[in-house]
Amino acid sequence: MNIREQDGSVTFEVRVIPRSSKSEIVGEHSGALKVKLKSPPVDGAANDELVRLFAKRIGISRDNIAIVSGQSTRIKRLRINGIDLKRLKEGLALS
């Protein structure tokens, strides 16, 4: 997975699969983290759920997570402020 750490934040790509049976992080796909979301991609519902999922898994405030690109596409770039690469990997149980 391609993760960039800079100035107290981490940035990485996420590949979203909306309208799944449940919301979960399922692995890696072409350098991006693959995430299934229960919400449909309507009125930002899937984006909101994506932010909630990461906030809960990592244990940080949703205010620290931003979708910096791809708001209306399946491939998104997330930036999480206030954490380092080690904490991200621990929170997501990545090796």
Supply the pLDDT for residue 29.
Answer: 87
Name the CATH topology of 3-92: Conserved Hypothetical Protein Mth637; Chain: A; (3.30.1200)
* Report field, pTM of the whole predicted structure over 0.75: yes
Query: How many angstroms separate the CA atoms of 44 and 30, rounded?
Result: 24
Domain ranges of the chain: 3-92
Instruction: Give me 92's structure tokens.
Output: 């997501």
Query: How many angstroms separate the CA atoms of 40 and 57, rounded?
Result: 21
Q: What is the pLDDT along the chain (95 residues), one digit of tens a residue?
A: 889 999 899 999 999 999 999 999 999 989 999 999 999 999 999 999 999 999 999 999 999 999 999 999 999 999 999 999 999 999 888 64
Supply the pLDDT for residue 58.
Answer: 93
Q: Is the dihedral of CA 89, 23, 14, 25 positive or negative?
A: positive
Supply the pLDDT for residue 94.
Answer: 67
